[in-house]
Amino acid sequence: MSHPLKIKEFRAYWIGQIISLSGTWMQQIAQSWLVYVLTKSAFYLGLISFLASFPALLFTLFGGVIADRYPRRNILIVTQCLSCLPAVILGILIHLNVINIWHIAAASFILGVATAFDMPARQAFITEIVSHEMITTAVAMQSISFNIARIAGPVFAGFIVTHLSFYMCFYLNALSFIPLILILLSIKPDFPLSASENRSFRKSLKEGFRFLLKNEQILYTICAVGIFTLFGLSFMTILPIIAGEVLNVGAKGFGIIVSSIGAGSLLAGILIALKKDIKEKLNHIFRASLLFPVAIFGIAFFNEFYITISFAFIIGFALVNFFIVSNSFIQHQTEQRLRGRIMSFFAFVFLGFTPIGNLLAGILVDRFGVNPVLELYSLICLAGGIIFLKILPATRIRIS
């Protein structure tokens, strides 16, 4: 099996993603710290994350239908252009020193709308530029690009915020979208027309739901993804509180913790990409689901900076193994004409549950503190992984 990087179109697309995502992470770190400086509130950190992700609940499933109906490359070009706008607007407002929390909230919502339509198309688009047997490796390579950016972006953000200014992070993020847009314009994939092209949105969605309900392994995997998104990924929302108030390490320490998560994620992506394929995907997903809550509990139990960095690395490693293999398993089990819609269900729980989890985490941490919430969330993730990846599949086998 050849490697996706040997394909010119995928290689260019992969490099463009690294540049764009580095800018996105740079802005995200700067924005999180800016919200913390403006408000000193876990609630507002959760609220901004909620507004950035809430549009996924409204639009992602429609985005899946659109991704099966129109050229995915064109959808991505439009969403990249829309994603530039919040960065430019916030950069100008910060530059003029008139920024307030509601400006950040509105810009986050606009970016969330673009992301809701972007993700189903982005997930399905790789199948148009790589062969079916390369899907797992291509998904892993996408994760590698994401996590290279997650390491580089916070480092750049910390340097720029410390030595230059907040607004430069936002201007540079806006510029980072341009290379990817140009690369997408140069790619000419063969867009497979969907059999549902002439159907209504409602019938197209029903077809996707029927396929999902008939394929219980995909359904259980998506349910597990939902649990880990709701009670696992929300850990990122309260990281500024952990860095600023529990560990007292400031913006620099916050960036180091995020980069440590990125380093663990990058290693996981590289190891997956080096494998030709993962045969026992469901068992692999289950093992990752056990490792993650252990690391979350470790951060809650040890309030020490270097130990937190170590567990952050494990969190990144576990999450990427969990989400990459879940993603590739679902794509392998789905036919091309339905892939946009089925990946929109994956995106719906991955993006759509994020705002609920972020808002809930902010409220709970403000009321009960960081450590009790992390301990509770680690137990919920552990139980969710066991139920959806072991108990329910085993029950189905016994019944059949």
The predicted-structure confidence for 215-240, as pLDDT tens digits, reads as follows 888 888 888 888 988 888 877 778 88
Angle between helices 281-301 and 370-386 (to 10 degrees): 160
Angle 181-185-189 (CA atoms, 0-180°, nearest 5)?
125
The span from the CA of 113 to the CA of 376, in Å, is 31
- Residues 14-73 have pLDDT tens digits of 899 888 888 888 888 788 778 878 887 777 777 787 788 778 778 888 888 888 788 888
Burial of 301 per CB tally in 10 Å (0-12, 13-18, 19+): middle
- The number of distinct structural domains making up the chain is 1
Looking at the domain assignment, is residue 130 inside a domain?
Answer: yes
In contact, 371 and 241? CB cutoff 8 Å: no
CATH number (domain holding residue 101): 1.20.1250.20
- Residue 79, token pair as written in the block: 């969403």
Give Cβ neighbours of residue 361 (< 8 Å, ≥ 6 apart).
42, 46, 234, 235, 237, 238, 373, 377
**How many other CB atoms are found less than 10 A from the CB of residue 198?**
10
Tokens 């710290």: give the residue.
33
In contact, 79 and 207? CB cutoff 8 Å: no
Looking at the domain assignment, is residue 192 inside a domain?
Answer: no
Looking at the domain assignment, is residue 193 inside a domain?
Answer: no
Looking at the domain assignment, is residue 191 inside a domain?
Answer: no
Looking at the domain assignment, is residue 71 inside a domain?
Answer: yes
- Residues 99-149 have pLDDT tens digits of 888 888 888 888 888 888 888 888 778 878 877 777 777 777 877 787 777
Q: pTM for the full model?
A: 0.71
Residue 41 lies in domain: 4-184+201-399
